[in-house]
Structures are given as structure tokens and as C-alpha cells.
């Protein structure tokens, strides 16, 4: 008996995501910002906090009155905008990456436990999520910062404590779906304990979703940090951050609108990068979506 297997694609493997335009473009943007942040001291022409009171509110070099010494202009204290943008990327990326990972770890762990075990554990965790989500995230992070005090690590902690719920809720639904499949029971019947079943069978099934959410969460974390630094409740004032640049530039909006536009663009472009990356990953790693797009109705 020589049965021939029916043709069908092997499950999602790593080469596929790289073929998506969104993943490449989004990933490219994110990578550039990341590299800019890492190599800031090499790339930035000036010290971001160096004030030059003779050259305040200089417009960018392409505008009338621009100065080639300051390509993107300066702010009201004469600090070079370009350098501040590059150094601001550091805060942005550190917060985005660390806070997102933290929220992911906490949220996913609780989601796995809640969805897999069900019962009282699920009830407890779901009530905690409900409790947390009773607050608008902006308000909650603000309160947490008021409670903890300003500083980079406090900002990261605050974001983790606010956003784990987002992960938890979404991943939990997915875990519930996976849980219903017989292969989970089959693994238990094969003699695997709960922990091993959870790690070997359930976690890999939700991993694509988690990765997608991670990318989107980085965008959210970045925005929250920008909001906090806009109201002056993020990092110490000696550290340049994009939100702070926006807040400062707002007062001088009529004199030079570029001081406002440039940090806004920085935030928007980076967030677009994370969102494109996340959307691209979702499309390539979700087998259901793939099936639907190949077999037309």
C-alpha cells in the first residue's frame, strides 16, 4: 500500500514573513530608529543639552534664516533639534522595547494560566483584568507615575502594569480556542504534566499572536511615553525626549512651526513602523487568514 500524501502547505515557517512588504518596510523603519538610538553619540552632531543662547529658534536649513550648522534648527534654548531627536530616540526605544516585553511576559503568562486551567483561577485573573481595565490607560499611568515618581524605570514599570491587561485579554481568548482542540488532551493522555503541555503544545500555538501583539504594544508604549513626557511626568528634565520637545515647541508654535512638526513626525514614523510590522506579521503568521486569501469564495 503506497498512499501518496495529499499536497498541502507545510505550516507557517520563518521564511514567509520576510516576503511581506509590510514586514520589510515596517521592520526597516524600526531597525533604523533602533540603530539611530544605539549609535546616538556617533551620529548626533552636538550634545543634546548644549545650549547656544545666541542661536535660539533657528529654523531648519531649508527655510529662510536657516543655518547649515544646525540642519534641523534649534529650540528656544539653542539646543540642536537634530541631536535632540536622535537622543530622544533612545528614550523612545528603551521604553518601547522594555515596556512591551514586560507587558508581554506578564500578560501572556497570566493568559496561559487563566485559559488553560479555567475555573477559579480564570475567574480571578479575569476579574483582575476587568478591574484594571476600568481605568483609561492614560489616567492610570498618570496616577502610577504620581505614585512612583518620575524616572525612566518608573515609566517602564507603569506601562507594564497598565498594558499587561491588553495582552492578557486577547491571548486568553486564543488560549481558550486552542484548549478545545483534542491534541491538548492527547498530550495529557500521553503522560505530559500540565506545565509541559502548556509550554509544548499551547504556547507555540499562541506564539504568532503574541509576536504580533508585541509589535503593536511597542507602538502603544512609545505613545504613552510621549504623552507622559508631554505633561512633564516622564523622564528627568535633563534627558531629551520627543514628548518634551513637543511640549516646549508648542509655546513657540507661531515662530517656528518646525520645532513642533519634526518631533511629531519622529513619533508618527516610528509608530507607523511598529504598526506596519505588526500588521505584516499578523498576515503572514495567521494560517486561517492565509487559507482564506488563497481559496477564493
Partner 1 sequence: MLEARDLVVTADIAEGRAEVLRDISFRLEAGRLMGVVGESGAGKSMIGRLVAGMMPHGFAVTAGSLRFEDEDLVGLPRRRRQAILGKDITFIPQHPQTSLNPVRSIGTLFDEHLKRLGVAGAAARRDRAIAHLEDVHLPDPSGLLRRYPHQLSGGMCQRVLIAMAFAGEPRLIIADEPTTALDVVTQAHIMGVLGEMRARHATAILFITHDLRLAAQICDEIMVMYAGEIVERGPARAVFAEPRHPYTASLELANPTLTGAPRKLLSLPEHMPGLSAYAGLSGCRFAPRCPVADPDCAGHRAALAEVEPGRWVRAAGRCLGADLVGAAATVHAAGGRADAEGDARPLLRVAGLGKTYGGRRGLLGGRRGAVEAVREVGFELRAGEFVGIVGESGSGKTTVARMLMGLETPSAGRIEIEGADVTGPFARNAALRVGAIQMIFQDPQSALNPRRRIGRLVTQPLESGRRPMPWPERLERARALLREAGLPVDVLRRYPSQLSGGQRQRVNIARALSSAPKVLVADEIVSGLDVSVQAQILNLLLRLREESDIALLFISHDLAVVRYLCSRVLVMYRGDVVEAGATEAVFANPRHAYTKTLLAAVPPDDVNVDWNPAGISEV
Partner 2 sequence: MGGEILGVVLRRILVAVPLILLVSVLVFVVLRLIPADPVSMAVPPNATRDEIEAVRREMGLHLPIIEQYAIWLGQVVQGDFGRSIAFGQPVLKLIGQSLPATIELAGLAAILATAIGLAGGLVMFRLRGGPGEGPADLASILIMSVPEFLWALFLILLFGVAFNLLPFAGRLGPGESAPAITGFLLLDCILSGRFATLANALEHMILPALALALGTAPLIMRVLRSSLLEVIHEDYIVMARLRGVPERRVITRHAFKNAFLPTLTLMGVQFGFLFGGTLLVEVIYSYPGLGNMMVEAVRNTDLPIIQGAALIYALAVMSINLAVDLAYILLNPKLRAAG
139 binds partner 2 (CB under 8 A): yes
Nearer to partner 1, 266 or 285 (CB): 285
Question: Which residue from 205, 227, 264, 272 is in contact with partner 1, where contact means CB under 8 A?
Answer: 205
162 binds partner 2 (CB under 8 A): no
**Shortest gap between Cβ of 186 and partner 1 (angstroms)?**
6
177 binds partner 2 (CB under 8 A): no
Question: Which residue from 226, 244, 262, 285 is in contact with partner 2, where contact means CB under 8 A?
Answer: 226
2 binds partner 1 (CB under 8 A): yes
Residue numbers 93-132 binding partner 2 by CB under 8 A: 130-131
Rounded Cα distance between 156 and 217, Å, is 13
Q: How far is CA 200 from CA 45, 111, 130, in A?
A: 50, 16, 29
Question: Which residue from 137, 208, 240, 259 is in contact with partner 2, where contact means CB under 8 A?
Answer: 137
Residue numbers 173-202 binding partner 1 by CB under 8 A: 180-183, 185-194, 196, 201
**With 0-12 CB in 10 A as exposed, 13-18 as middle and 19+ as buried, what is 290?**
middle
147 binds partner 1 (CB under 8 A): no
Residue numbers 11-70 binding partner 1 by CB under 8 A: 11
Which residue carries 510590522 as its cell? Answer: 277
The x, y and z cell numbers of residue 35, run together, are 540603530
Among partner 1, partner 2, none, what does residue 232 contact (CB within 5–8 Å per kind)? partner 2
63 binds partner 2 (CB under 8 A): no
Neighbours of 133 (CB within 10 A): 15
> What DSSP line would sit under 87-98, residue for residue?
HHHHHHHHHHHH
Which sign, positive or negative, has the C-alpha torsion 180, 185, 187, 191? positive
Are 260 and 253 in contact, with CB atoms under 8 Å apart?
yes
Consecutive H or E run containing 252: none
297 binds partner 2 (CB under 8 A): yes
DSSP-assigned beta bridge partners for residue 80: 74
Nearer to partner 2, 159 or 198 (CB): 159
Q: Helix 21-38 to helix 81-117 angle, to the nearest 10 degrees?
A: 120
Neighbours of 264 (CB within 10 A): 15
**Shortest gap between Cβ of 174 and partner 2 (angstroms)?**
15
Residue numbers 273-292 binding partner 2 by CB under 8 A: 275-276, 279, 292
Q: Which residues bind partner 1 (CB under 8 A)?
A: 1-11, 180-183, 185-194, 196, 201, 204-205, 287, 295-297
Amino acid at each position: 500500500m503506497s498512499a501518496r500524501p495529499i499536497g498541502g502547505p507545510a505550516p507557517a515557517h520563518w521564511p514567509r514573513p520576510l516576503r511581506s512588504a509590510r514586514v520589510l518596510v515596517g521592520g526597516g523603519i524600526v531597525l533604523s530608529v533602533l540603530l539611530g538610538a544605539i549609535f546616538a553619540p556617533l551620529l548626533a552632531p552636538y550634545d543634546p543639552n548644549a545650549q547656544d543662547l545666541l542661536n535660539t529658534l533657528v529654523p531648519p536649513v531649508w527655510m529662510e534664516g536657516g543655518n547649515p550648522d544646525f540642519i534641523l534648527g534649534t529650540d528656544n534654548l539653542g539646543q540642536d533639534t537634530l541631536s535632540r531627536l536622535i537622543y530622544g530616540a533612545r528614550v523612545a526605544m528603551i521604553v518601547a522595547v522594555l515596556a512591551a516585553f514586560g507587558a508581554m511576559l506578564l500578560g501572556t503568562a497570566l493568559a496561559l494560566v487563566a485559559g488553560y486551567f479555567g475555573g477559579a483561577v480564570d475567574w480571578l485573573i479575569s476579574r483582575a483584568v476587568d478591574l484594571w481595565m476600568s481605568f483609561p490607560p492614560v489616567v492610570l499611568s498618570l496616577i502610577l507615575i504620581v505614585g512612583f515618581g518620575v524616572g525612566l524605570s518608573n515609566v517602564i514599570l507603569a506601562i507594564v502594569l497598565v498594558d499587561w491587561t491588553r495582552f492578557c485579554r486577547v491571548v486568553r481568548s486564543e488560549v481558550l480556542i486552542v484548549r478545545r482542540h483534542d491534541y491538548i488532551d492527547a498530550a495529557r493522555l500521553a503522560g505530559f504534566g500540565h506545565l509541559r503541555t502548556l509550554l509544548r503544545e499551547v504556547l507555540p500555538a499562541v506564539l504568532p499572536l503574541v509576536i504580533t501583539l508585541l509589535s503593536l504594544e511597542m507602538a502603544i508604549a512609545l505613545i504613552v511615553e510621549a504623552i507622559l513626557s508631554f505633561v512633564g511626568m516622564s523622564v528627568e528634565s535633563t534627558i531629551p525626549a520627543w514628548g518634551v520637545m513637543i511640549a516646549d515647541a508648542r509655546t513657540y508654535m507661531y515662530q517656528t512651526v518646525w520645532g513642533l512638526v519634526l518631533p511629531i513626525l519622529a513619533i508618527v514614523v516610528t509608530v507607523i513602523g511598529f504598526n506596519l510590522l505588526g500588521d505584516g506579521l499578523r498576515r503572514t503568521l495567521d494560517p486561517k487568514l492565509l487559507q482564506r486569501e488563497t481559496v477564493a469564495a
